[in-house]
Amino acid sequence: MNHMTRIGPIVLMTCIGLGSANAQSMGSSYTSTAPKDCRQIGKPSELDGSTTRICPGKNGLMVLIAEDDLREIVSAGRNRKEAAEEPAAKVWFAPFNSSETTVEWRAAGTKPFAMIQRWHIADGTDRDKQGRPNTKAMLVVTRLPPGPVCHVAYVDAIANPNANELARKAADDFARGFTCGKDEVKIIGTSGRAVELAIMR
């Protein structure tokens, strides 16, 4: 009887261990899109300061960052040409904006299926003492191949104290089944000023 009592908890712990191992198969890793970690494509334009750079990502993917008129696009693909043709490369936020240089890759095992990046959207109605617009932070969840690369979800980083967790959950729940061009980008959590600015047309 004592022998059986000892085995019971061990079996139970093994089962719990297996369950949590399965639950932890989703994970995050990070890469940089800082200019020093990327390859500049051509020379920056002297007319409008537009730049394009390509940065190493995960699992053979490259991240394309293009800035034009103080607005950025971020896309991904196996190479620059592929990334430039994805839907994500054709989405411009109307206000001035920029993306931070850390990309979070959400993966199942070793295969990334979404990337998460923090963006700053300029708010023309909220200006500093020099008259420059203050920016509002937002997380953008972008789906990755197989299939097109496009924005899946926006999370307002100021309105949601747990914005990172919300963005990861949105990536895990929606990115793989999201149909670019058909499904609406999801606003996750509490909508705030950054999201309002991002969806302005």
Please spell the DSSP secondary structure of the chain, one letter per residue.
-HHHHHHHHHHHHHHHHHHHHHHTTEEEEEEE--GGGSEE-SPPPTTT--EEEEEE-STT-EEEEEEETTEEEEEEESSHHHHHHSGGGG---SS-EEE-SEEEEEEETTEEEEEEEEEEEEEEEEE-TTSPEEEEEEEEEEE-SSS---EEEEEETTT-TTHHHHHHHHHHHHTTT--TTTSPPEEESS--HHHHHHT--
Quick one: average pLDDT of 38-47?
77
Share of the chain above pLDDT 70, in %: 85
Please indicate, yes or no, if residue 127 is contained in any of the structural domains: yes
Residue 172 lies in a domain: yes
| Mean pLDDT computed over 28-55 | 86
Distance in angstroms (rounded) separating the CA atoms of residues 65 and 84: 9
Angle at 86 between CA 51 and CA 165, to 5 degrees: 90
pLDDT in tens, 63-74: 999 998 889 999
Residue 71 within any structural domain of the chain: yes
* 22 falls within a domain: no
Residue 106 lies in a domain: yes
Q: Tell me the per-residue pLDDT of 96-135, one tens digit each, with 9 for 90 and over.
A: 999 999 999 999 999 999 999 999 999 999 999 999 999 9
- Domain residues for 116? 28-198
Closest by Cα among 115, 150, 155 to 139 = 155
pLDDT band at 11 (very low <50, low <70, confident <90, very high): very low
**Residue 15 falls inside a structural domain:** no
What angle is formed at CA 87 by the lines to CA 116 and CA 169, rounded to 5 degrees? 25
For residue 14, tell me if it sits in a domain: no
- pLDDT tens for 135-192 read 999 999 999 999 999 999 999 999 999 999 999 999 999 999 999 999 999 999 999 9
> What is the rounded distance in angstroms from the CA atom of residue 56 to the CA atom of residue 76?
10
pLDDT at 10 over 60: no
What number of other Cβ atoms are within 10 A of residue 91's Cβ? 16
Query: Given this model, what pLDDT does residue 101 score?
Result: 96
pLDDT at 24: 45
Whether 55 shows a pLDDT value over 90: the answer reads yes
Name the residue among 198, 142, 144 with its Cα closest to residue 167.
142
- pTM, 2 dp: 0.85
pLDDT of res. 44: 67
23 within some domain: no
14 has pLDDT over 50: no
What's the whole-number mean pLDDT along residues 76-84? 97
Distance CA(74)–CA(89), nearest Å, equals 6
pLDDT at 47: 54
The C-alpha atoms of residue 64 and residue 133 are separated, in whole angstroms, by: 26
> How many domains, in total, are found in the chain?
1
